[in-house]
C-alpha cells in the first residue's frame, strides 16, 4: 500500500546526538496510537547538512522542514500536521537554508556509502570525556541492560541480532555468550570477559581506531557482556604498539569508575564488574584465543589444541568469553535499539539462526594502491567493487586493478572477477579468503602475486610460535620454495609442492595461525597461477617486482637526456651526456627503482 505522507528523520551523526533515533521511536508510537501507521511512513535519512539545528524532520510530499524537534513536540506535530494538514509554525526552520559554497558530505563518494554503527561517534565526541559519550546516549544501554533486562534476555538479544565475531572467525557472539554463561552456572565458577585488542595483521588498524575514537563503547559493551554471562572480572589484551589507544582506555575506565559505571554496585543495582588492561608483547600468535589466554596467565604465548574450547576452560581454567574490540563496540547499540534493528542491516535473517547470514556493518581499513586510504564502515553485503571504486575512489594514476587482499596473513587475494561478490563472512570464505578482522589491501598492475604470497609467508614464518611441526616446518618449506621461485630458480613441480604443503597445514596445524597460513599461497595459485608459471617457466615477473627476473632499460625514443636519473642513481650505472639519450649498465644496476621515480617522461622501463 502506498503511503500518503513520508516523514524523514535525519540520522546524520549531529542529529543522532540530538536524539533522532529516540524521536523516531516516539513518532512511530504516536502514529500507531492515532491509527496513522498505515498512512504515514517514517524513514531515517542521511545527513541533511543542518546539523546545528537538529534533529531535523522533513515531511514529504509537502517538503516542510522542521528543526530542533523534541519528543514533547511529537503529539502536536502528529495532531496538527499529519492529521489536520497544518504545518506547526513554531518548529519551522525560519531563515531560509543558506546555500553553502562547498559540497555536502553525503555527496562525497567516500562518505556516501558508509553506514556508521561502531564508528557512530568518530570525530564527533572527545574520546577523553565521559560526558561527551553520555551525551550521545552512552551508558544508556548499560542502564537498560541492568534495570530492564535479565542476563538471559541480554544473551538472547545478542543471539537474535546475529552479531558474529568481528575478529575474523565470524562465530556468533550470542552462542559464545550462552555457552560461557551455561559453563559458569553448571560448574559454579565465575566466567571472565576478555577483549582481544591484539590487532596484528599488516595493514589493519580498525580496532586501534575504534578504541581511540570511542573507548567507552568498548567498556560499555564488555560490561553488558559481563552482565549477560555472569562475569565480574574482565581483561583487555592490547598490544604494546598502541600507546594512544591504551591511554584513552585507561582514562575511560578511570572516568567510568568515578561515575560508578565500572566497579562495585554499578548504577546501584548490586552488579559488580571491573576491567584490567594487559599489554601484549607483540607476538602475532597471541591474537589466537588459547595463546592469548596463556599470555594473560603470564605463561609463554603458545596455543594449545582446542578439543576443549576456551569458552568452557580458558583463562585459569575458567569459562572465558573472548570477543574482539569491534564486536563489543556493537553491543550497546544492539541493546538500545534491539536485535531486529541490527538484523535488518546486512545479509540474511539471523534471528532464528545466527549462522544465517551476516548482519550489521563491518569496519575495514582500506589501504594499498587506492586513492582514498582510510577507515570505513559499510553494511555487510556491499560489493568489493563499491568499496574499492566508489568509497576508495579507485586506483591511483589510472593503473589497472589486480587483486584485493582481505583478512591479513590468514586471508587471500581476490582477483577482478570477484569484485561483484558481496562482502560477508560466508562469501569471502567460500572464495578462499576470509573476512578477518578487516584489513583490505588493494593491489594494482605493478604487484607481483608470487611476491605478495612470499611476503605473507615470510611474516608468518617469523611469527609462527614453533610449537607444532606442520606450521613450523610447513611455513619454512613454503618460504624456501617461494624464495626460489622469485629468484628465478623455481622448478616445475614447485606449484604442486606448495599446494600439497598448504593442504597438509590446513589439516594438521594446532591453531588458526597455522591452518589459515596457506591461504595467501593457495588463493594466489588459484587465481594467478599464470604468474607462478611465468616465474618458473619463462623466468619473467609480470608485475616487474622480482629483482632477479627483471632488467632496467631506457627507451631511446622517449629519453630527452635531462640527467635526472643520473643524479638519482646511487651506483652510477646510468651514463650519457646532457641532452643525449642515456643508457643503463645492467651489470652495475641494483634495480632499486630510484631512476623511475624521478623520470618525468616515463622513459625508464622494467622488463
Partner 1 sequence: MPKLTIDDLKKIREQAQAKMTLRSGQARGKITVHMSTCGIAAGARDILDALLKEVDRRGLHDIIVTSSSCAGLCSREPMATVEIQHQAPVKYVDLTPEKARRILDEHVLGGKIVTEFALAAGSETTS
Considering only residues 72 through 111, tell me which ones interact with partner 1, judged by CB under 8 A.
Answer: 95, 98, 100-108, 110-111
Answer for which of 31, 69, 77, 122 binds partner 1 (CB under 8 A) is: 122
Considering only residues 190 through 209, tell me which ones interact with partner 1, judged by CB under 8 A: 205, 208-209
CB of 70 to partner 1, least distance (A): 11
Q: Which is nearer to partner 1, 379 or 502 (CB)?
A: 379
CB of 265 to partner 1, least distance (A): 6
Closest CA to 211 of 197, 198, 194: 197
Convert residues 495-534 into a mask of x (bound to partner 1 by CB under 8 A) and - (unbound).
----------------------------------------
356's grid cell: 544465517
Considering only residues 260 through 299, tell me which ones interact with partner 1, judged by CB under 8 A: 260-261, 265-268
If you search the block for the grid coordinates 590446513, which residue do you land on?
A: 506
Binding of partner 1 by 131 (CB under 8 A): yes
Answer for which of 8, 9, 11, 534 binds partner 1 (CB under 8 A) is: 11
Binding of partner 1 by 313 (CB under 8 A): no
Dihedral angle, C-alpha 564, 567, 571, 573, nearest 10 °: 50
Considering only residues 18 through 77, tell me which ones interact with partner 1, judged by CB under 8 A: 18-19, 45-54
Q: Could you tell me how many residues of this chain bind partner 1 (CB under 8 A)?
A: 81
Q: Which is nearer to partner 1, 249 or 595 (CB)?
A: 249
Considering only residues 376 through 405, tell me which ones interact with partner 1, judged by CB under 8 A: 376, 379
Q: Which is nearer to partner 1, 242 or 527 (CB)?
A: 242
Helices (H), 195-338: 206-213, 215-229, 243-258, 289-296, 325-337
Task: Label each residue of 297-359 as H, E or C.
Answer: CCCCCCCCCCCCCCCCCCHHHCCEEEEEHHHHHHHHHHHHHCHHHHHCCECCCCCCCCCCCCE
Task: Phi first, then psi: give them for residue 318, nearest 5 degrees.
Answer: -95, 155
Considering only residues 233 through 252, tell me which ones interact with partner 1, judged by CB under 8 A: 242, 244-245
CB of 219 to partner 1, least distance (A): 14
Binding of partner 1 by 493 (CB under 8 A): no
CA-to-CA distance for 161 and 361, rounded, in angstroms?
12
Binding of partner 1 by 361 (CB under 8 A): yes
Closest CA to 56 of 8, 125, 13, 101: 8
347's grid cell: 545479509
CA-to-CA distance for 71 and 137, rounded, in angstroms?
15
Task: Label each residue of 503-540 as H, E or C.
Answer: HHHHHHCCCHHHHHCCHHHHHHHHHHHHHHHHHHCCCC
Answer for which of 83, 134, 189, 504 binds partner 1 (CB under 8 A) is: 134
**Which listed range, 114-122, 312-320, 455-463, 547-555, lies at the site for partner 1 (CB under 8 A)?**
114-122
Answer for which of 373, 429, 473, 477 binds partner 1 (CB under 8 A) is: 373
Chain length of the chain: 607
Q: Which is nearer to partner 1, 32 or 131 (CB)?
A: 131
CB 109 within 8 A of CB 393: yes
Binding of partner 1 by 439 (CB under 8 A): no
Q: Which is nearer to partner 1, 61 or 103 (CB)?
A: 103
Answer for which of 9, 17, 463, 554 binds partner 1 (CB under 8 A) is: 17
CB 151 within 8 A of CB 185: no
Answer for which of 114, 161, 324, 461 binds partner 1 (CB under 8 A) is: 114
Q: Which is nearer to partner 1, 2 or 100 (CB)?
A: 100
CA-to-CA distance for 522 and 74, rounded, in angstroms?
58
435's grid cell: 573476512
CA angle (244, 246, 247) in 5-degree steps: 65
CA-to-CA distance for 204 and 370, rounded, in angstroms?
15
Binding of partner 1 by 156 (CB under 8 A): no
CB of 396 to partner 1, least distance (A): 10
CB of 131 to partner 1, least distance (A): 4
CB 550 within 8 A of CB 541: yes
79's grid cell: 495532531
Binding of partner 1 by 339 (CB under 8 A): no
Answer for which of 132, 190, 274, 533 binds partner 1 (CB under 8 A) is: 132
Q: Which is nearer to partner 1, 358 or 433 (CB)?
A: 358
Amino acid at each position: 500500500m502506498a503511503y500518503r505522507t513520508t516523514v524523514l528523520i535525519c540520522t546524520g551523526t549531529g542529529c543522532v546526538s540530538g536524539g533522532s533515533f529516540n524521536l523516531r521511536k516516539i513518532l512511530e508510537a504516536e502514529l500507531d496510537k492515532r491509527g496513522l501507521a498505515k498512512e504515514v511512513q517514517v524513514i531515517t535519512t542521511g545527513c541533511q547538512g543542518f546539523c546545528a539545528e537538529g534533529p531535523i524532520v522533513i515531511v514529504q510530499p509537502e517538503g516542510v522542514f522542521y528543526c530542533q524537534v523534541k519528543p514533547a513536540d511529537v503529539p502536536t506535530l502528529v495532531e496538527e500536521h499529519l492529521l489536520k494538514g497544518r504545518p506547526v509554525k513554531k518548529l519551522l526552520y525560519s531563515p531560509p537554508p543558506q546555500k553553502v559554497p562547498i559540497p555536502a558530505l553525503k555527496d562525497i563518494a567516500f562518505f556516501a556509502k558508509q553506514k556508521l554503527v561502531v564508528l557512530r561517534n568518530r570525530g564527533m565526541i572527545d574520546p577523553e570525556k565521559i560526558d561527551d559519550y553520555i551525551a550521545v546516549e552512552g551508558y544508556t544501554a548499560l542502564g537498560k541492560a541492568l534495570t530492564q533486562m535479565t542476563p538471559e534476555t541480554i544473551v538472547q538479544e545478542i543471539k537474535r541480532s546475529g552479531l558474529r565475531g568481528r575478529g575474523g572467525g565470524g562465530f556468533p557472539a550470542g552462542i559464545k555468550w550462552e555457552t560461557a554463561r551455561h559453563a559458569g552456572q553448571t560448574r559454579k565458577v565465575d566466567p571472565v570477559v576478555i577483549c582481544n585488542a591484539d590487532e596484528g595483521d599488516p595493514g589493519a588498524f580498525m580496532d586501534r581506531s575504534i578504541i581511540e575514537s570511542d573507548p567507552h563503547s568498548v567498556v560499555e559493551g564488555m560490561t553488558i557482556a559481563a552482565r549477560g554471562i555472569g562475569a565480574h572480572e574482565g581483561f583487555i589484551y592490547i598490544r604494546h604498539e598502541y600507546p594512544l589507544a591504551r591511554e584513552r582506555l585507561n582514562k575511560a575506565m578511570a572516568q567510568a569508575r568515578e561515575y560508578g559505571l565500572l566497579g562495585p554496585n554499578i548504577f546501584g543495582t548490586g552488579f559488580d564488574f571491573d576491567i584490567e588492561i594487559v599489554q601484549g608483547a607483540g607476538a602475532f600468535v597471541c591474537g589466537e584465543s588459547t595463546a592469548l589466554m596463556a599470555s594473560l596467565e603470564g605463561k609463554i604465548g603458545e596455543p594449545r589444541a582446542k578439543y576443549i574450547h576456551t569458552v568452557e576452560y580458558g583463562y585459569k581454567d575458567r569459562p572465558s568469553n573472548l570477543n574482539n574490540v569491534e564486536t563489543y563496540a556493537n553491543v550497546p547499540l544492539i541493546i538500545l535499539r534491539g536485535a531486529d534493528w541490527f538484523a535488518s542491516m546486512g545479509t540474511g535473517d539471523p534471528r532464528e539462526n545466527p549462522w544465517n547470514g551476516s548482519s550489521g556493518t563491518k569496519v575495514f581499513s582500506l589501504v594499498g594502491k587506492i586513492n582514498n586510504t582510510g577507515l570505513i564502515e559499510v553494511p555487510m553485503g556491499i560489493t568489493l567493487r563499491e568499496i574499492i571504486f566508489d568509497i576508495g575512489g579507485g586506483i591511483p594514476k589510472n593503473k589497472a586493478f589486480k587483486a584485493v587482499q582481505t583478512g591479513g596473513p590468514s586471508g587471500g587475494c581476490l582477483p577482478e572477477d570477484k569484485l561483484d561478490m558481496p562482502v560477508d563472512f560466508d562469501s569471502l570464505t567460500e572464495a578462499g579468503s576470509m573476512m578477518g578482522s578487516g584489513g583490505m589491501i588493494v593491489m594494482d598492475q605493478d604487484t607481483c602475486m608470487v611476491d605478495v604470497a612470499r611476503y605473507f609467508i615470510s611474516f608468518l614464518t617469523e611469527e609462527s610460535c614453533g610449537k607444532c611441526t606442520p606450521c613450523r616446518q610447513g611455513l619454512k618449506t613454503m618460504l624456501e620454495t617461494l624464495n626460489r621461485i622469485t629468484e628465478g630458480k623455481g622448478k616445475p613441480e614447485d606449484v604442486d609442492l606448495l599446494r600439497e604443503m598448504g593442504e597438509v597445514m590446513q589439516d594438521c596445524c594446532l591453531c588458526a595461525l597455522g591452518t589459515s597460513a596457506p591461504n595467501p599461497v593457495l588463493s594466489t595459485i588459484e587465481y594467478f597461477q599464470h604468474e607462478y608459471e611465468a616465474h618458473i617457466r619463462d623466468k619473467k615477473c609480470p608485475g616487474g617486482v622480482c629483482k632477479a627476473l627483471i632488467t632496467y632499460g631506457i627507451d631511446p625514443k622517449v629519453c630527452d637526456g635531462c640527467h635526472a636519473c643520473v643524479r638519482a642513481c646511487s651506483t652510477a650505472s646510468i651514463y650519457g651526456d646532457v641532452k643525449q639519450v642515456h643508457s643503463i649498465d645492467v651489470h652495475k644496476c641494483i634495480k632499486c627503482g630510484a631512476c623511475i621515480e624521478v623520470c618525468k617522461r616515463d622513459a625508464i622501463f622494467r622488463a
